[in-house]
Every structure is written in C-alpha cells, then in structure tokens.
C-alpha cells in the first residue's frame, strides 16, 4: 500500500486486526456456499425446463454418491439455427 493511500485512510486489508481474520474467512465461506446453492437451484430449473428426462439420471447419480447434488451439475443451453433452445 502506498503512503498517500494510507494517509487518506485506505487500507489493503478488509480487517486490520489478526483476530478478525477468522470472521472474514467465515463470511467468505458462507458467501461461497450461498453462491453454490444458487447455482444448484439454477441448474435444476434449467434441467427441468429444457431436459426433464435427465433429472432422474442426476438424482440417481446423487443417490449413488457420484455427485454432491445439483450444484455439481453444469448446464449449457445452446441456440439452434431455428432459434429454439437445444
């Protein structure tokens, strides 16, 4: 951090004290967890909207322990030449 930035009261750290670091790590972990849960909800909605026939397959993978849930499902919707979603 440059001297002028420190003079203006800016800091390179979210928390200055070492005892605040675990709080920052917990807050970041909770934010990552919420983001992963939201991606899972979006993936489930896309699968049910565009390819409902594979939802039982994904549930079976989860039941066998091969995936951790909908958050591990990556969905890509592609446009066809006629403008319909594939």
Question: Cα–Cα distance between 47 and 54 in angstroms, integer?
Answer: 7
Average pLDDT over residues 23-45: 88
79 beta partners? 85
Question: Cα–Cα distance between 30 and 11 in angstroms, integer?
Answer: 24
Q: What is the pLDDT of residue 75?
A: 84
Average pLDDT over residues 11-40: 76
pLDDT tens-digit readout, 38-63: 999 999 999 998 889 999 999 999 99
> In the chain, where are the structural domains located?
16-86
Q: What is the pLDDT of residue 86?
A: 52
Mean pLDDT value across the chain: 80
């Amino acid at each position: 951090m440059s001297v002028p930035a420190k003079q203006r009261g800016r800091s390179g750290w979210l928390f200055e004290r070492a005892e605040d670091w675990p709080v920052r790590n917990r807050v970041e972990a909770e934010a990552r967890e919420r983001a992963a849960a939201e991606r899972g909800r979006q993936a489930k909605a896309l699968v049910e909207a565009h390819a409902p026939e594979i939802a039982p397959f994904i549930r079976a993978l989860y039941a066998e322990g091969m995936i951790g849930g909908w958050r591990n499902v990556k969905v890509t919707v592609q446009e066809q030449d006629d403008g319909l979603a594939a």
